[in-house]
Structure 1
Amino acid sequence: MSKPQFSFEFFPTKTDDGITKLYQTFDTLNELAPSYFSVTYGAGGTTRERTLGIVEALKNRANTPIAPHISCIGDNKSQIAELLDFYKSIGISRMVALRGDLPSGQVGMGELPFAVDLVRFIREHSGDHFQIEVAAYPEMHPQAISFEQDIQNLINKFEAGANSAITQFFYNAESYLYLRDALEKRGVDTDKHRLVAGIMPIINASNLIRFADSCGADIPRFIRKQLADYGDDRKAIREFGFEVVHRLCEVLIAEGVPALHFYTMNRVEPNKRLVQSLGLTSSSTQA
């Protein structure tokens, strides 16, 4: 069985110290030879300048591809076109296209209200220059009317020109497998349009639960109960979290997942430990 590819996600930090630490984390994780790094983009482009600066710095720091997030909420077509031209000019050839979240106080959805509109615009403006990743939701987007509609929305993004999709994080492998099978039943070639599994390591219980509740991701009852039992025992939480996520990844790999995308929270560990213990790198050792 061939090893799945793996990649890492960063978010723009607000301080110079945070930027320095991010570059150090990048250097360490880059030694694992990931397929690419992605860099997120705040609601309504609120981290636009920081994102652009980090993307350019990382692009100049190593040969590993950098995939900036780009969202359509908060930007008009001319602003997005300018962003696309900038990324093309510095050698970026991959990006993650998202609708994005409405920033506080903003009314209206703008010229490109949904991710499918953004994907279509990227193709119209830049042709096939960019490899386009989009978002997928194994447990349904929290604003979707139905599961069927949500699956169709993903198919529409593929038909508009998206190459592959990265899922929201999940801890129930069956949700990923159900979505993959549902796409295939509807005629999607998942070898061509890959469904990349988004993986969230468990580091901090309260932050994880708050994040999951806000984005509609499910944390199974056994995980919530165990995290509650550990209380403030951070070491126990980290070890339990590693075991849970490692087991999840093992199941996905056995089921032929094409790639794993780790939401790093700008940390080296446990992302490095997971990649190595899963045997995803040539120098990995099994846990």
Structure 2
Amino acid sequence: MTTPRVSFEFYPPRSVEASFRLHETVQALAPLRPEFVSVTFGAGGTTRKLTHEAVSAIHRTTDLKVAAHLTCVDATRAETLEIARGYVAEGVTELVALRGDPPRGAARFEPHPDGFADSCELIAALRETGDFTIRVGAYPDRHPEAADDLADVRWLKRKFEAGADAAITQFFFEAETFFRFRDACEKAGIDAPVLPGILPIEHWANARRFAERCGAKVPQWLDDAFATAARDGREDLLAIAVATELCSNLIDGGVEHLHFYTLNKPNLTRDVCHALGVTPEAALRDVA
């Protein structure tokens, strides 16, 4: 099996304890030499300042290439582009450009009167600056707001036409889900990189709720497997096995780069990477 390239997503800490946990997560996963790491943006723009601080800290204290999430939510065009220019001034030129989720309690996304209407407008404005590598979101399972089964493919094509360089998918549970989406993208004329997003399952009930919110389909066999594992006290072993098998199937299908949603908990992600041959020793050999 070919050893994949990897990248990791973190989220910004909201407390001192969480800051230590983020630091420990970064330190635990940095030896695997990810191609990049990213820091998320909270729903409704709630972590704008925290995201900036986390990105700046990782950029300042490590040699990792760090990408900042940037959304259209609750900000004017000028404010959003000012944030982007601030990243450039610090030497951060990687962005994940997203429409963003509506604020908690809001039924749907409503653009700011002076803001970007959607991710395509944001991407186009960022591309005009010429300063950034721009990654965007993609949905292999149907997004809750999608008009039909191919709407997510059409939106992704528009994002690439606006100037995106690559896409990262929402997580999914079966390799065939990604392969169907990849085939649909190729049929639509999309030839840019689309990286599969992998969620090692730290806690099944939480992962299941998250899946329901974002439209990721939950196979019955996975529900049954975690119910059995919970009775036997083997959830962590199952989580490693499930994520490793998913990644192995993706690699066998031609995937070369895996993006892991770490939830600032490094152990499962690190264990899965090790099972795939992504180890500090392998990373050093690749550099040598």
Secondary structure in 2 aligned to 1:229?
helix
Q: After TM superposition, give the deviation of residue 230 of structure 1 in Å.
A: 3.2
Q: Which residue of 1 aligns with 2:274?
A: 276
Q: For 1:65-80, what aligned pairs fall within 5 Å after superposition?
A: 65-80=65-80
Distance in 2 between the 1:232 and 1:56 partners?
43
Distance in 2 between the 1:216 and 1:136 partners?
12
Q: After TM superposition, give the deviation of residue 284 of structure 1 in Å.
A: 5.1
Structure 1: 5+ residue stretches without partners: none
Q: After TM superposition, give the deviation of residue 282 of structure 1 in Å.
A: 6.1
* Contact preservation (8 Å) 1:44, 1:100: yes
Q: After TM superposition, give the deviation of residue 260 of structure 1 in Å.
A: 0.5
Q: Which residue of 1 aligns with 2:124?
A: 120
Q: Which residue of 2 aligns with 1:238?
A: 236
Secondary structure in 2 aligned to 1:38?
strand
**Quick one: percent identity of the two aligned structures?**
38
Secondary structure in 1 aligned to 2:69?
strand
Structure 2: 5+ residue stretches without partners: 284-288
Distance in 2 between the 1:64 and 1:104 partners?
32
Distance in 1 between the 2:168 and 2:274 partners?
21
| Structure 2 residue 26 is matched with structure 1 residue 22 | no
Q: CA RMSD in A?
A: 1.7
Q: For 1:3-14, what aligned pairs fall within 5 Å after superposition?
A: 3-14=3-14
CA offset digits 1:135-158 (Å, max 9, x no partner):
111112111001222211000000
Q: After TM superposition, give the deviation of residue 115 of structure 1 in Å.
A: 1.1
| Range 32-41 or range 105-114, more displaced | 105-114
Q: Which of 144, 147, 156 pairs up with 2:146?
A: 144
Distance in 1 between the 2:146 and 2:259 partners?
23
**How many residues are matched?**
279
Q: TM-score with structure 2 length normalisation?
A: 0.92
Q: After TM superposition, give the deviation of residue 9 of structure 1 in Å.
A: 0.5
Distance in 1 between the 2:105 and 2:170 partners?
26
Distance in 1 between the 2:15 and 2:87 partners?
23
Secondary structure in 2 aligned to 1:269?
helix
Distance in 2 between the 1:48 and 1:19 partners?
16
Distance in 2 between the 1:279 and 1:230 partners?
26
Distance in 2 between the 1:184 and 1:105 partners?
37
Q: Which residue of 2 aligns with 1:181?
A: 183
Q: Which amino acid in 1 is paired with 2:134? A: I
* Contact preservation (8 Å) 2:13, 2:54: no
* Contact preservation (8 Å) 1:38, 1:67: yes
Distance in 2 between the 1:99 and 1:11 partners?
17
Relative distance call for 1:46 and 1:280 in structure 2 (3 A) is same
Q: Which amino acid in 1 is paired with 2:141? A: E
